[in-house]
Structure 1
Amino acid sequence: MKLDRRELLLGSAATLAAGASASAVPASKLAQRRPGFGAAATLLDLQADPRLGEAISTYCTQVVPVQELKWPMLRPDAHTFAFERADAIYDFARTNDMTMRGHALAWYADIPDWTKQIKDSKSVERTYVDHINTVVSYYKDKLTSWDVVNEPIPDDPKSVKDRRDTFWTQHLGDRWIPLAFRTAAAADPYVKLAINEYDIESAKDSFVAKRAAYRNLIMDLLDQGVPLHAVGLQSHLHAELEIDTHGLAEFVTEVRSWGLEVFVTELDVDDQKLTGSPAERDAIVAKRVDDLLTAISTSGPVRSILTWGISDRYCWINAMFKRPDKQPSRPLPLDGEFKPKPFMDVISKFAKDA
């Protein structure tokens, strides 16, 4: 199996690092960082706009690649592992004295077309295990944690036992989830392994049902002795929906009682359904984030908070969900000009105890 190592790629990692070394990060910059706070980024955005890297290295202690560790970008074909894009983000993190976490080893979406040519289940399993083993082994002792399985629960589960129907379940059945964790743990016994899910934060019926199904899956994995260390709450919040602070606090408290950590992994707030001025929308967004983190911190500090991006200028929400008034959404801690908003004040309030 060919492993593509570092090669020249759309500019060098040295350019991203702006010629600095970890020991050269000024103490004044380190002092501004929010402990445990991090952001997702793509290599293309980091290379296109130096302000993005500067913002992340100013406010954050960790970073996560948006696309560079997912199957399509990492596996252009069945015989190639293309690590150089993810390596460049890792070098950016290391050079700026930050850590990096991995996202994601097994997901129902973003499966490259070449995998769909595999017809028999034994070959699918071999490919699946080889991928996870190779990728986790490559980054052994380098990353802090992995989202091992991403979004395993359907959006409107019919029961607590409901699981999303995926390419992997069609070939591997229910064991695709424990198999992923056991393979990752064998490849790196010390990295923290997380499961990751979205839309469990409000009191809306579908969210409550999804939270219950997520709880059931986590409990089932622990009962099987699966090496699960952390529960990821993506927290792609909907600004028009209040946080179910009581229900979420109960869920997090129970999960922690099982010996698991809780990570906020992909925090942002979709404000497409809000009206009002930018300042009014920003206040509501900040309130949702404050309520979320208050509920999670009821049973302990929130030690890892990652936003899915850091500036509104580089955000998937503005690409995917257009506001009716054609104005840009304001889903992240920094605005489009990289100026902090009330969202960042909330992050500072909670990250100081991380």
Structure 2
Amino acid sequence: MGRRRLIAGLALPALVPPAFGQPLEEGLRAIAARRGITYGAAASTRWLGRDPAYDAALAREAAILVPEGEGKWDSLQPRQGQFTLREMEPILAFADRHGQAVRGHTLGWHTAMPRWVWAALDGAPAARAAALLEAHILGVLGMTRGRIRDWDVVNEAIADPDLLPDQDLRDGAWWRAIGPGWIDLAFQTARAADPEARLVINDYGLEADWPRAAEKRARMLRLLRGMRERGVPVQALGIQAHMPLDQPFSPAPFAAFLREVRGMGLEVLLTELDVIEPAGQPLRDADIPARDEAVAARAHAVVSTALAEGCRMVLTWGLADPHSWLNAWAPARRADGAVVRALPLDAQYRRKPFWHALARAFEGR
């Protein structure tokens, strides 16, 4: 299956019935699709099917869904050799009902693994660790082949420069157990398991205009060039784009990076977009209009730059603020208890300046 046909198949504009007597409105999925762009969002079974307003917004706005946690190792293979889509199935079924595609996230990561994996890796020789990784990828893609056509094969493999200044790759579980070749192995196994899926390497911290992000971009480029030279079947770079507002952004260095990636014949995707309000300043309700404008301006700058450089898929990590990992996941919550306004819709599913910024970017404005 060609990559152009994949993108065309994912951009599925649709209008859904209005919720709670509201007028029929066009969502971001339809606005984006008019210019060949696919917009989507992370979804979670914590909310799906429990809140009619959530369901209606997700169906209206998103052409593609990505499971927030239901596509990780601990959900898909909780016990060795026992593969299951039980946690992901509600998302797949919802997508089927609403003409949406589903992305897979993620096959190889250094966390979100059940205890049995950590026990199996403890002191295991490289060959045994490699067999564990291969078995997981083969088992998962055996279940999802034909249903999920886009997978984050490897997630967050690049080391943060401030933590590992002299090593490009993260010192994670698979790197320690197998060595740097674990990334090639994951992609080769995924291609053998599903010849039709688009295979993506996904990472964060690549968009800001400051030295740490510049070094991380350089590390990613070195990894991608090496993979291409070795014939590893990577097809796209997923840029998470969890964007802290206290990190500067300039279009030029980000655009230059995207051009280098595209020059290798790879696609670029924005896969986990949200905006993180500064931790070091109070977030007051009285400042919400100004806060929302700052979030929207950053989102528009990053998304419009990516689109100008050929990106044709944009996903936010959630759709409405209460469901953002920054508010819903205890370790990420602010110490002062303030609610971060990180996503396109607010707690009542009303469209914020973030939503309008995305619409403008999708329309080329």
- Same fold by TM (over 0.5)? yes
Structure 2 residue aligned with 1:227 = 233
Structure 1 residue aligned with 2:171 = 165
Percent identity over paired residues:
33
Q: Please tell me the residue identity of whatever aligns with 2:132.
A: T
Q: Is residue 131 of structure 2 the alignment partner of residue 126 of structure 1?
A: yes
C-alpha separation in 2, matches of 1:32 and 1:163: 39
Pairing of 1:1-354 with structure 2 (within 5 A): 31-34=26-29, 35=33, 36-118=38-120, 119-156=124-161, 162-273=168-279, 275=283, 277-300=287-310, 302-318=311-327, 319=329, 320-323=331-334, 325-352=336-363
Count, aligned residues: 331
Assess, with a 3 A threshold, how the Cα gap between structure 1 residues 203 and 156 changes in structure 2: closer, same or farther.
Answer: same
Assess, with a 3 A threshold, how the Cα gap between structure 1 residues 24 and 39 changes in structure 2: closer, same or farther.
Answer: closer
Aligned CA RMSD, in angstroms, stands at 2.2
Contact 2:16 2:60 in 1 (8 A): no
Contact 1:159 1:209 in 2 (8 A): no
Residue 144 (structure 1) shift: 2.9
The runs of 5 or more residues in structure 1 that have no matched partner are 1-21
SS in 2 for 1:43: coil
Deviation sequence 1:269-292 (CA, Å, 0-9, x none):
111435561111110001111111
Q: Please tell me the residue identity of whatever aligns with 1:149.
A: V
Moved beyond 4 Å, runs of 4+: 22-31, 157-161
Contact 2:15 2:24 in 1 (8 A): no
Deviation sequence 1:277-319 (CA, Å, 0-9, x none):
111111000111111112212323x311000000001111123
Contact 1:25 1:97 in 2 (8 A): no
When structure 1 is superposed on structure 2, of 325-334 and 144-153 the one drifting more is 325-334
Q: TM-score, normalised by structure 1?
A: 0.87
C-alpha separation in 2, matches of 1:317 and 1:24: 30
Residue 49 (structure 1) shift: 2.1
Residue 111 (structure 1) shift: 2.0
Q: Please tell me the residue identity of whatever aligns with 2:358.
A: I
SS in 2 for 1:89: helix
Residue 47 (structure 1) shift: 3.2
Deviation sequence 1:26-45 (CA, Å, 0-9, x none):
59969534231100011122
Q: TM-score, normalised by structure 2?
A: 0.85
C-alpha separation in 1, matches of 2:219 and 2:166: 4
Deviation sequence 1:177-204 (CA, Å, 0-9, x none):
0111111111111111100010111122
Assess, with a 3 A threshold, how the Cα gap between structure 1 residues 324 and 174 changes in structure 2: closer, same or farther.
Answer: closer
Deviation sequence 1:71-100 (CA, Å, 0-9, x none):
111121113112122122111111111111
SS in 1 for 2:342: coil
When structure 1 is superposed on structure 2, of 94-103 and 239-248 the one drifting more is 239-248
Contact 2:15 2:60 in 1 (8 A): no
C-alpha separation in 2, matches of 1:352 and 1:108: 37
Q: Please tell me the residue identity of whatever aligns with 2:99.
A: D
